[in-house]
Structure 1
Amino acid sequence: MKGQLTPVFTAPAPGPDASDAELTTFLWSLINEDFLTEAGWNAERRVMTPTGHPTMGGRRCPVPNCESPVRGMKLCSTCYSRHRKSGMPLEEFVRVPRVSRHLHLGTENCRVSGCERPWINSGNEPVCRAHRWQMIKHGGTLEEFLADPSVKGLPGLGDCSVLACNRQAINESGTRLCHPHGKRLPALRREPEFDEEEWLRTAPSGSFGIEISFRGLPELVVAQLLFGLQHRCHRGARTEAGNFRALIDKTIRPSGARRLEDVPDPVANEDALILLNRTRVYAIRAVKTPEGEYVKDEWDLVAFGHRGTLVFTVIHQPWLRESAKRWARDYLSKVRSKSAASHAQQHLHGLAKVSDTLRARPDRGMDKSELSRADIENFLNRMAFLEANGRFTTNTRISYVRMARNVLKQCRVMGLTRPEGPMAGLPDDFVITRLDVPKPPEPSEEGQDLPPEVMRQLCAHLDSFEAMTCLEIRLSVELLMDTGRRPEEICRLELNCLTRDSQGKPVLLYNNWKEQRIGRQLPIHEPTAKLIIEQQKRVRERFPDRSPSALVLLPAQNLNLRGDRSIDSNHLSAMHREWVEKLPDFVLDDSTVFDKEKIFPYAYRHSFAQRHADAGVPVDVLAELMDHEQLETTRTYYRVKEVRLREAVERVIQLQFDRHGTRIWGAVTTVLDAERTRRAIGAVVVPFGTCSEPSNVAAGGGACPLRFRCVGCDHFSTDVSYLPDLRTYLDDLLRQREKLRSMAEADDWARAEAMPSDAEITRIRRLIQRVTEDVETLTDAERAEIQRAAQVVRQLRQNFLGMPRIRQPLPDLRPERPA
């Protein structure tokens, strides 16, 4: 588009009781001059002709002499019907000029020099009525008549008396009408109940092509319609000029409404209803202010910079409802999430349950000074009763109580119990304490991450997702899987979201919208970077005239002429759910069927965290990858519960060895609770196993008398989960020995002191061999179980003395993609 459609505010925002003139002035201050120019607005004639406009002009019919716009076809509706009846090929039909030119009657001036009257003849004599009679008497051709010096121009007769019409009148006596309206009036006068004054006020404009007449409409309605059109164009919505003209001629003008709010909904035309509602909403919201919403019981959150509505009618007591409004004003000024409306409404629902309980009192909760702790107890007992009777779940009960507590607590913090506040006189014991909130149930063992086999099946069906939706939706799911970002963060990626670090490795640039941390960086793999690079090329080809800094990586398919509107995360979730439901059952390795309800876009973030946690990524590093400020938040994304840990320990403990490589507890199948407790308090973790030496255990592992020469101590034991650490340590010893042997600048005693002993190397090599041999004696199924159990134990094991952690490789979910 030629100009930006950003409103220019030149008038103060009107109040809730503003007059029509004040509203009109304010709306005109929001309408950009660039939009009016591009839309072909003629302020004097009050006519809009959006020829060539990106969203309103459309394409002109290719048939010669036809100025009608194309509507979803290669021809206009009239030429389309003519083409179907003609039987001619389209290529031949578009070369034949359209003969009928009656649409131009009364819109072009007479060809006589200086004549201000319109021509009315649809034949070959484009002259006004008076000059046509003169030409008949004159004889000869049109050119001879126009060249006659005795032929003089005539003054115009004024505008047509129909308010909406912008043509000139052609008759000098009676009701002055243009040619089309003049031909229509005699037939209407023969109708018994015809009201000529009403007809002159509400008759259609008679415009043609893409011309839209706003004549005869109140000033406020004109301003509302123009602002609504500007907003639609700014969003990239297409508006057919003919549909908009029909809305004005058949619905708005006949209604006689002073504002769009008073225009009745059209019954028979669904397209007109949608167009009216969208335009009306934009115009109404333009003049909304927070002050105007405060007095209402249903708030339009657009006035607060959010989406959606907030309903207070669920709270019955006036003092409690006013307190809820005060809380909502404070809450909306702080919250930054897109789901602010739903979060706020959930808090109000919790407060509504308190209101319902108070209605059971004799005074229906109106006298707040009579309330006490007993009313809070009634509320808590009522919540327990409703849960016990299946009215809602345990989590819903906890949520209602917690949110009601948050609102009442914040209201007291805000000082609403002061003498002038809505809670003035409320007793101090009318409060929900922290202990009143029911304790949530223990989280499930499995967590919200998706098993690797489920992820592989999802990746294998990504092509069907693209066929069902579009490439951008499919790509967003791939990026969710690969990066573990939140859906909103992926959907709103900018086009220039890929960079390289100092080593040339790809880095994703994204914004953490939830916490308002802008410009975050995430290292990614080359296959993921390749997906982004290919998408960047497609976006540049789709919007070649736009600056890359103004484009998004995943542009929406509709209402997006400038390429700056991203796909919506809610739409992504809906399409993802539809896709998952159409896929075949997800069968796990143990032949069980995975519940499809657990597969949703945010689960990919949990899976990303669990994959890296299973690979041995430290929690502080994982917190940085997840962009969490608190480590406790990161731990909620990958939780290995006691049951899972106990099962893993029971399997790993079956392959426990002493320093000589001799099996310990070879016949143990179950670890008793006493043994698990002793394992926790009777030993400490050392670099390659556990130590039970009393003084070292008492010192928390920091008082080893052998200076951590563990393989030479009888108090040392290890298990199969330490096998990668032992192998790494052996390699380090071998490298260190070779390096020391080649150092000529070191003294002999220093070299001998630092040289790893052959006995230690031999002992570690034998220990590794014995552990490996025992593992190889197991069946494939047993080996797989041991490996999984060792992975769980390694995940929770803490490092000791800064020893490097041996990471496990991430599972390959997309083997078909090249690394």
Structure 2
Amino acid sequence: MTDVQPEPRKAGQPGLLAKLMAVVQPEFRPDVLIPDLRDPIFGGPPCMVVDCDYPVLTMGLCRPHYNRWHHDRPDLREYAAAAGPPFTRHTALACTVAGCRYGRRAQGLCSQHLYLWNQAGRPQLVDWIAAQPPVAPNPFPRICLVAECEIWVHQQTPLCPSHAQAWRKAGRPELEDFVARYTDPFPDEICIDLRALGPQLRLEVQYALQCRRNEHQGKLRPFEAMRTIRFLVTSQVTSLLDHDEHGWRQRMRVRGMRDSKASTFLIFARWKVQDLTEAGGWDAEYPRDVWRLRRLGIEDNERVLRFDGIPQPWLRDLAKRWARWRLSTGLNRESAARPTRAIARFATFLASDKVGVTRLADVDRAVLERYLADLHAEMGGSQHQGNHIGLLNAFFTAIRQHRWDDDLPTTAVFFTEDYPKRAERLPRALAEQIMTQLEDPANLARWDDPAKSLITLVLMRCGLRLADALALPCDCIVRDADGAPYLRYFNHKMKREALVPIDDELCDLIGRQRAEVCARFPDTTPVLFPRHAKNPDGTKTMAWTTYRRALNRWLNTCDFRDEYGQPVHLTPHQWRHTLGTRLINRDVPQEVVRRILDHDSHAMTAHYARLSDTTIRRHWEKARKVNANGETVTLDPDGPVAEAAWAKQRISRATQALPNGYCSLPLIKTRPHANACLTCPMFVTTAEFLPQHREQHRQTLQIISVAEAAGRSRQVEMNRQVADNLEKIITSLETDQQHPEATPDAS
């Protein structure tokens, strides 16, 4: 929820009353609303107490029964069987000492008996209460003014302690009015009484209640709505728009309104009334410096896009046009907010005294070079610096592409050299020692929630991004013609559906999770991992922050350690890297890995999935190696020669790289001619260089033809040997490809 700056009050709000009369539905028009007790927003499942129909608040109990159970906390099942019908708000609990009718304070005792029990050294409470003489005061104290409440009162007020506390919380109204409230036949548990509100304010609250139910924006029990209504009554306002959002929050703090549900509903109600008053859509929202995206139909929650950090009107208008264009292409809020923040920083730089640029025509290369220096001084060549440069460059490109302003100089451009150099990031796959601990069934069983344990398995075995895993629908399992299961998900980055094969164990676990979720939300089509709070119909997904916090708790509980004995810290995305690396090192073709990870390019797959050193050696040992004469070269895989050859081959790749093979010449020696490899006995090559050999063979034959025509016999003789050797190499390696079973297995 975003707290925005105070908005100026709009005098009179012309036309609001007529709009409210037109939109408030008949079922929300009564002055006393009695919602369905099973309504997913205003009600819920019934209390577990026998013969109680009030909706559950917590622990399977309604609010009245929970409040009574909470005092002594007896066995929950025994209490539910013996508690009886719901208690009314008229009665309060009396002291448990025989004959005492003073209100309870703690331990089931009134203030006087609690003091005596403490003075006695806090003995066994049940025995101490049984030993107390019955209380029989003469004369008897007065009883509470509230009807049906028989609790004795103290001298300070004519109310029992419980009702006195409620009177103080209500703002100390007239006692006559306060007591009359308890004779009302409508209890707060099942009714929302709007009679104390003025005509327009009542319609506004009715409209907010209607929006809350229609939009399924979290539960709102009647007693929580009544707290908001009583606060509005004591605020003496005629409309929710009498104060801006900032003003309402200040008044709630001053009044000590700590009920988050009640205060959140008040702000929610003001949003809805304000949206009804002010026109929506691009025509109305575009001129504002703070866009509320819910008015544009982009997001349901209270998200804004701010342009008030750009002081120059000419630059602010261009930033708005760019943001509107990006949003219209289907990008999310953050894809428009990050560029806007980058422009705001650039605008602050332009407005500084040392620059003083006042028009777009002055934004030339010289200004950008000064900005690059200023940006580097703050960000020091970090990734954020490159992001700022890239976003600003894209902004300039959009201005030219769409002809938004022809005053932008052609020199206002960033070049490749302007971006800070980035070192190639190493693969983030987890070590197998760590993965063995993470995949241990005993450790997986230590998750505090089976749903989060299942999310972890999906991330490990399927390589999904966390956002895609959390958004899985309930019907995410599909099968092919052979009955093999696949996980169907929506790749939000690529904006497309994708499939990944899964094993039967994971398929069964997903089936159990689906059955549990559908049993919890039988009347809707929930997601596979629904959010626990503010999700009455199960259609909202678990937040990624919720899973990340649970993941950190699990890592701490299991005390995972790396090879150095340090605690393991990881991100969910590392499991995606790990899966790609594992598949590559199990000889799964890269094209298959690309499809499993649903990448657009092989370059991304290559970055995720790096071959381990042992895998490279295994393939090198299996490959058929021939010398310059096409003769097979073999090595003992277990002998010291093979170890030395492998070490030298790794060094040769870095220090003596050849375009068509490897040099087996000792490193302390050098070749007399750089192009003498194909006539050198130290030359070794494999089938991976066949394309280079074929091309060199073609070029060599061309050289021989030209030399023969020119009569250069020495050149013909030298290249004829190269061509013959190439022919032998190609024939030998092609035979190896056509008959792989003939390849010597050196592994």
Per the TM superposition, whether the score is higher than 0.5 is yes
**Counterpart Cα distance in 2 of 1:25 and 1:396:** 50
Match of 1:456 in 2: 436
Determine if the alignment matches structure 1 residue 427 to structure 2 residue 409.
yes
User: In the alignment, which residue of structure 1 is the partner of 2:551?
Assistant: 576
Q: Is the 8 A contact 2:322 2:398 kept in 1?
A: yes
**CA distance, structure 2, for counterparts of residue 692 and residue 408 of structure 1:** 44
2:205 is aligned to 225
- Which of residues 482, 489, 496 is equivalent to 1:517? 496
**1: CA distance, partners of 2:69 / 2:514:** 44
- 8 Å CA contact retained: 1:623, 1:631: yes
Write the letter of the residue equivalent to 1:476. I
**Equivalent residue number for residue 468 of structure 2:** 489
Distance change (3 Å), C-alpha of 1:614 and 1:285: farther
Which residue, out of 290, 293, 307, partners 1:301?
A: 293
In 2, Cα distance between equivalents of 1:680 and 1:623: 28
What is aligned with 1:530?
Answer: 508
Partner amino acid for 2:375? M
- Aligned counterpart, 2:635: 663
Q: CA deviation at 1:248?
A: 0.5
Equivalence for 2:528: 553
2:364 and 2:692 map into 1 onto residues whose CA distance is 61
Corresponding residue for residue 411 of structure 1: 399
Alpha-carbon separation, structure 2, partners of 1:578 and 1:702: 69
Deviation readout 1:466-513 (Å, 9 max, x if unpaired): 643x22222112111111122222222222221211122112222223
Secondary structure of 2:35's partner? Answer: coil
Distance 1:687 1:258, change over 3 A: same
Structure 1 residues 273 and 435, CA, compared in 2 at 3 Å: closer, same or farther? same
The equivalent position to 1:50 in structure 2, one of 21, 35, 42, is 35
**Match 1:276 to one of 259, 263, 266:** 266
Cα distance per residue 1:382-405 (max 9 Å; x no partner): 2233344xxxx5212111111111
Q: CA deviation digits over 1:578-633, x for unaligned, max 9?
A: 4335542432xxx3467845x21222222222222223333333332222333333
1:330-345, aligned counterparts within 5 Å?
330-336=325-331, 340-345=332-337
* SS of the residue 2:658 aligns to: helix
1:322 is matched with which residue: 317, 324, 331? 317
- The CA deviation at 1:378 is 0.6
SS of 1:522 mapped into structure 2? strand
Give the CA deviation at 1:81: 4.7
- Candidates 413, 416, 419, aligned match of 1:438: 419
Aligned to 1:109: none
CA contact (8 A) 2:65 2:87 kept: no
Contact 2:48 2:80 in 1 (8 A): no
2:454 pairs with one of 475, 478, 482: 475
Give the counterpart letter for 1:416 in structure 2. W
Q: Output the TM-score relative to the length of structure 2.
A: 0.66
What is the DSSP-based 3-state SS (H/G/I as helix, E as strand, rest coil) of the residue aligned with 1:265?
A: helix
Please, which moves more after superposition, 435-444 or 23-32?
Answer: 23-32
8 Å contact from structure 2 (residues 90, 182) kept in 1: no
Contact 2:343 2:392 in 1 (8 A): yes
- Give 2:540's aligned residue: 565
Does the 8 Å CA contact 2:463/2:576 hold for their aligned counterparts?
Answer: yes
SS at match of 2:657: helix
**Are the equivalent residues in 2 in contact too, given 1:357–1:378 (CA < 8 A)?**
no
Kept in 2: contact 1:657–1:717 (CA 8 A): no
Q: Write the distance in 2 (CA, Å) between the matches of 1:522 and 1:290.
A: 40
Say if 2:600 is the partner of 1:629: yes
Contact 2:24 2:210 (8 Å CA) reproduced: yes
- In the TM superposition, what are the counterparts of 1:115-194 in structure 2 within 5 Å? none
Q: What displacement does 1:375 show? A: 0.9
Residues 405-453 of structure 1, C-alpha deviations (whole Å, 9 max, x = no match):
11222133232215xxxxxx44333x12333541541213x31222333
Residue matched to 1:609: 580
- Partner in structure 1 of residue 130 of structure 2: none
Deviation at residue 637 of structure 1 after TM alignment: 2.4
Partner of 2:146: none
> Quick one: distance in 2 between partners of 1:455 and 1:367?
57
> Is residue 238 of structure 1 aligned with residue 253 of structure 2?
no
What is the distance in 1 between the residues matched to 2:24 and 2:349? 50
Please tell me the residue identity of whatever aligns with 1:320.
Answer: L
Once the 2 structures are TM-superposed, how far is the Cα of residue 379 of structure 1 from its aligned partner? Answer: 0.5
CA pair 97-84 structure 1, distance change in 2 beyond 3 A: same
Residues 355-366 of structure 1 mapped to structure 2, 5 A cutoff: 355-361=347-353, 364-366=356-358
Give me the whole-angstrom Cα distance separating, in 2, the residues matched to 1:702 and 1:277.
Answer: 84
Equivalent in 586, 589, 602 of residue 561 of structure 2: 586
Q: Residues of 2 paired with 1:435 and 1:556: CA distance? A: 44
Read off the aligned partner of 1:276 and give its amino acid letter: L
Q: One-letter code of the match for 1:77?
A: P
Tell me the secondary structure at the aligned position of residue 478 of structure 2. strand
Name the amino acid aligned to 2:537: R
> Partner of 2:592: helix, strand, or coil?
helix
Judged with a 3 Å threshold, the aligned counterparts in structure 2 of structure 1 residues 19 and 510 are, in CA distance, closer, same or farther, namely: farther
Classify the secondary structure of the residue corresponding to 2:252: coil
Residues 320, 582 of structure 1: alpha-carbon distance in 2 compared, 3 angstrom cutoff: farther
Alignment pair present for 1:310 and 2:305 = yes
Give the TM-score taking structure 1 as reference length: 0.60
SS at match of 1:676: coil
Unaligned runs of 5+ in 2: 1-8, 93-166, 663-676, 703-719
Question: What is the rounded CA distance, in whole Å, between the counterparts of 1:334 and 1:97 in structure 2?
Answer: 55
- Which whole-Å CA distance do the structure 2 matches of 1:320 and 1:660 have between them? 70
Paired residue type of 1:275: F
Secondary structure at the counterpart of residue 508 of structure 2: helix
Contact kept in structure 1, 2:240 and 2:270, CA below 8 Å: no
Matched position secondary structure for 1:442: coil
C-alpha contact (below 8 Å) 1:297/1:312 kept by paired residues: yes
Instruction: Return 608-617 or 401-410, whichever deviates more.
Output: 608-617
CA, structure 1 residues 717+691, in 2 after alignment: closer, same or farther (shift >3 Å)? farther
Q: Secondary structure at the match of 1:396?
A: helix
Q: Is contact 2:438-2:444 (8 Å) kept? A: no
Distance 1:295 1:578, change over 3 A: farther
Distance 1:72 1:435, change over 3 A: closer
Secondary structure of the corresponding residue to residue 586 of structure 1: coil
Give me the whole-angstrom Cα distance separating, in 1, the residues matched to 2:504 and 2:194: 57
User: What amino acid is the match of 2:252?
Assistant: D
Structure 1, unpaired ranges of 5+: 1-15, 104-187, 419-424, 732-760, 773-819
Secondary structure of 1:299 counterpart = strand
1:505 aligned to 2:467?
Answer: no
For residues 633-652 of structure 1, what are the alpha-carbon distances to aligned partners after superposition, in whole Å with 9 as ceiling and x for unaligned? Answer: 33332356xxx879957995
Query: 2:738, 2:434 → 1: CA distance?
Result: 33
Query: For 1:28-39, what aligned pairs fall within 5 Å after superposition?
Result: 36=27
Q: 1:576 and 1:63 mapped to 2: Cα distance?
A: 37
Secondary structure of the residue aligned to 2:483 is: coil
Please state if 1:249 is matched with 2:218.
no
